[in-house]
Structure 1
Amino acid sequence: MTEEKLPPQSKESECAALGAAIQSSRALAEVAAVVTADDFYSPRNRAVFEALCDMDAAGESISPISVSEELLRRGQLERVGGAAYLMDLIGFVPVGWDAADMAEIVAQKAFLRRSIELSTRIGRMAYAAADETELDELFESMRDMIDEAESGKKKGVEVAEPAELVKEALASYRSPASPSTPMGLLDLDRLTGGMKPGQLIVVAARPGVGKSVLSLNAAMNVAEQGLTSVFFSLEMSKQEITDRCLANLGSVDLGPIEARTLNDLDLQRLDRAGERFEEYSMRIIDDATIGGAGIRAASRDLSRASGGLGLVVVDYLQLTHATDSRISREQQVSGFSRGLKLLAKELQVPVIAVSQLNRGPEQRQDKKPTLADLRESGAIEQDADKVLLLHHDESSEVKAASELEVIVAKNRQGRTGSVSLAWSPQYARVANLSRQVEPMRGVA
C-alpha cells in the first residue's frame, strides 16, 4: 500500500516562529510582515497566530499566560493543546535564529502548497475546457501561477516613516511632473491633466452619442505619437474600426465607405489616409467573446512585445464576456471594472473603459447625464479615476458638425467641469472646439 505524501510543510519552523512571537512583540511584527495565518499548515498553529495578531492589534500585552486566556475566551484553548502547547512552542525556538528566518520558511512551504493546489485546479480546468472562451480563463490562471512563481515568495508589508515620505515628496516637487498622455483634445486635456499611467478612465454615454468615437480618437492620437495603443472592440469588427479610422484621417464620409459607393476623389483621399494609418502604432482586437482574463492576458503580451503600452481601450464594458452565468450582471461588470483598474496599475498604462448609461438622462428635462446614470454604476464609479460623461443636444439642427459636451464628472487628480468638442459623426471624428473650460457648479 502506497503511503500518502503530505503537502510541503515545516512543523519546526511554524512552531519556532510562533514561539518567538509569543516571547517578543518585535518578533511578532517580523513574523507578521512575512506570513499570514493562512500560511500555517497546522490548524492549531493558525489559531494561535490569529490570536497573537488580534491581541497585538488591540494593544494587549502578549505572554504565554495572556495568550492562553485569549484562546480560552475564544473556546480554542483545548483545541490547540492547552497552555502546555504554548510552552512547548517556546521550546522550539532555535538558538541563534531570528523570527524572520523562520517565517520565511513557513511562507515558502505555504507557497509550494498553493502552487500544488493551483496546478491541480488548472489540470481540472484543462480537462473541462470545451471552447476557446474557457481557455482564456485557463491561460490566465497559468499566467498567474507563473507570475507568482517569478515573485519567488510573499513579500513583507512595506512600512514608510514620515521622514522618508517627506524626503521623497520634497524631491518630487523639484522634479518634472509625472508623465501624462494627452488624448489630443486641448481643452479636455487641460481640464483633466491628460491620461496618467495606472489610471482607469470611464467614457460613458447613451447609444449613438459618440463614446466609441471619442475613445477611438484617443487611441489614434496616442498611436500617432509613436506609443502603442490597443483597442479592444467587443461590438464593431476590425473592418468597421478601420473604416472609421480612414474616414477620420481622410475626411471621407462614412456612408459611401460602408456602402462602397466611393468616387475617385474619395478613393484618393482614402489611399493617402491609409498610408498615414499604416504608420500608427495601433493594435485592434475585435473578439466579441473575449473575457476580462483574455483582455488582461493580451495586454500583457502586447506590453512585453512593444516595450510598454501608451493606452488600452475596451469598447465597451457591458459587453465583456463572462464565463460564469451564475454571477449576476452587476457582479460581472464590477469584476471587469476592478480587473481593468488592476491592469492599469500592473502595466502602468492608462485604460479607457467605454460604458453605457441607463435611461436616466432621457427622463430629465436637460437630458444631461450624471454619475448615477452609469449602468451597474457602483463599482465602475468607485474604480474609475476619471469619469467622462458625453452629452449631445438632440435639438441641434446641425448634425454633420455638431457639438459634443464632455462632462468631467469625476477626476481624482484634477478639476471637474465640462468642455465642448466638435463632433463630426460622418467622419468618426471628435476635434477641438475653441471654447473656454466651463467649471461644474457645486462639484468638488
Structure 2
Amino acid sequence: MRLSAPIYHLKRRARRLSREERIPLHDALDRIATREGFSAWSMLAAKAAALTPANRLFPQFRPGDLVLVGARPGQGKTLMSLELAVEAMKSGHRAAFFSLEYTEKDVFDRLRAIGVDPTQFADMFEIDCSDAISADYVVKQMASAPRGTVVVIDYLQLLDQRRENPDLAVQVRALKSFARDAGLIVVFISQIDRSYNPSVKPCPDLSDVRLPNPLDLKLFDKTCFINNAEVQFRAAS
C-alpha cells in the first residue's frame, strides 16, 4: 500500500481539516482517505493495520511491564497508546484509558481515527476522565482487573499536578509495584521537552522526557519514542 504520507501525518491533516472546515473528525478522515484512493477511512485504516508498529510491539510486552510512550505534540503518541490497547483487546485482554487531558468523546474520536469502531470493544474497554486520577485512584479502579489488562495513563506529567497527590516518583513506583503484583501492563503517555531537536537525532529518547519533577526513568521496562512516523522501541537491559 502506497500512501502520500505516513499514516500519522494523514491523521494530522484530518484533524486540521476538521478544525478548518468545522466538520466532524470522522468526516475529515473519510475525505483524506478518498484522496488516498479509499472509499472511507475505515478501509484505509484496515489496510494500514498490518503495517502499524503497535501490532509488532504488543507481543513484546509482558504482564508487569511499565511502558513509556513519548513524542512531541502531534506525532501520534496518544494514537500509538490506543493502538496498543486495541492490540490487547484483539488478543482477548481488557484495556483501560485514564486521561487527565481528554474527554470521553475525544478518546472515541481518536479510536475512529485509527479505524476502530468504539462499540467493537464496548465490554472490554474502559475510559476514565476523572480529575481525581492518580496512582492510588488507578490502583483502586483496577484492583479487580484480570491479568494482562493494558492500562494507559494520559499523561505522565499530569499525575502530580494536584497538591494533594504524592510526588510523581512515588506514584510511578506505586504503579510499577501494582503492575508487577497484578500482572497488568501500564503504559504512560509522556511529553517530550521542547529542547528536543529532530535535526540532531531522528527520535527523542529518555534524556528528552520532560520532567518538571524528579523521576528515575529506569523504572520503565520498555520505551517507545515517535517522531515523523519513525518509531524507536527499546527494552531495558
TM-score, shorter chain, exceeding 0.5: yes
2-side partners of 1:350 and 1:234: how far apart?
19
2-side partners of 1:298 and 1:290: how far apart?
10
Q: Is the CA contact (8 Å cut-off) linking 2:54 and 2:80 kept in structure 1?
A: no
1-side partners of 2:86 and 2:62: how far apart?
17
Q: Are 1:384 and 2:214 counterparts?
A: no
Partner of 2:180: 345
**Which of 94, 116, 126 is the matching residue for 1:228?**
94
Over aligned residues, Cα RMSD in angstroms? 3.0
Partner of 2:24: none
2-side partners of 1:315 and 1:287: how far apart?
11
Can you give the 5+ residue segments of structure 2 that lack an aligned partner in the other structure?
1-49
**Which of 40, 54, 77 is the matching residue for 1:211?**
77
Partner of 1:201: 67
Give, as a single letter, the amino acid of the residue that structure 2 aligns with 1:368: C
2-side partners of 1:215 and 1:312: how far apart?
10
Structure 1 residue 363 displacement after superposition: 7.4
2-side partners of 1:363 and 1:246: how far apart?
29
1-side partners of 2:196 and 2:231: how far apart?
14
2-side partners of 1:345 and 1:291: how far apart?
18
Q: Is the CA contact (8 Å cut-off) linking 2:198 and 2:204 kept in structure 1?
A: no
Give, as a single letter, the amino acid of the residue that structure 1 aligns with 2:82: L
Give, as a single letter, the amino acid of the residue that structure 1 aligns with 2:73: P
> Which entry has the higher C-alpha Rg, 1 or 2?
1
Partner of 2:153: 314
| Alpha-carbon distance change, 185 to 311 in structure 1, aligned in 2, over 3 angstroms | farther
* Structure 1 stretches of at least 4 aligned residues deviating more than 4 Å after TM superposition: 184-193
SS in structure 1 of the partner of residue 97 of structure 2: strand
| Alpha-carbon distance change, 247 to 412 in structure 1, aligned in 2, over 3 angstroms | closer
1-side partners of 2:79 and 2:167: how far apart?
25
Partner of 2:23: none
Partner of 1:276: 120
After superposition, give the CA deviation of every residue in 1:156-180 in whole Å (9 maximum; x if it has no partner): xxxxxxxxxxxxxxxxxxxxxxxxx
Q: Is the CA contact (8 Å cut-off) linking 2:68 and 2:188 kept in structure 1?
A: yes
Aligned pair count reads: 188
Can you give the 5+ residue segments of structure 1 that lack an aligned partner in the other structure?
1-183, 251-272, 393-403, 414-444
2-side partners of 1:239 and 1:188: how far apart?
23
Structure 1 residue 344 displacement after superposition: 1.0
1-side partners of 2:193 and 2:160: how far apart?
20
| Alpha-carbon distance change, 282 to 339 in structure 1, aligned in 2, over 3 angstroms | same
Q: Is the CA contact (8 Å cut-off) linking 1:246 and 1:277 kept in structure 2?
A: no
TM-score, structure 2 length as denominator?
Answer: 0.68
2-side partners of 1:369 and 1:205: how far apart?
7
Q: Are 1:412 and 2:232 counterparts?
A: no
After superposition, give the CA deviation of every residue in 1:177-212 in whole Å (9 maximum; x if it has no partner): xxxxxxx87766657852101110100111111111
Give, as a single letter, the amino acid of the residue that structure 2 aligns with 1:379: L
SS in structure 1 of the partner of residue 215 of structure 2: helix
SS in structure 1 of the partner of residue 126 of structure 2: strand
After superposition, give the CA deviation of every residue in 1:12-67 in whole Å (9 maximum; x if it has no partner): xxxxxxxxxxxxxxxxxxxxxxxxxxxxxxxxxxxxxxxxxxxxxxxxxxxxxxxx
| Alpha-carbon distance change, 274 to 322 in structure 1, aligned in 2, over 3 angstroms | closer
- Higher RCO (C-alpha 8 Å, min separation 6): 2
Q: Is the CA contact (8 Å cut-off) linking 1:390 and 1:407 kept in structure 2?
A: yes
Q: Is the CA contact (8 Å cut-off) linking 1:389 and 1:407 kept in structure 2?
A: yes
Identity fraction in percent: 27
Partner of 2:131: 288
1-side partners of 2:114 and 2:52: how far apart?
18
After superposition, give the CA deviation of every residue in 1:197-239 in whole Å (9 maximum; x if it has no partner): 1110100111111111100111122123321111111110111
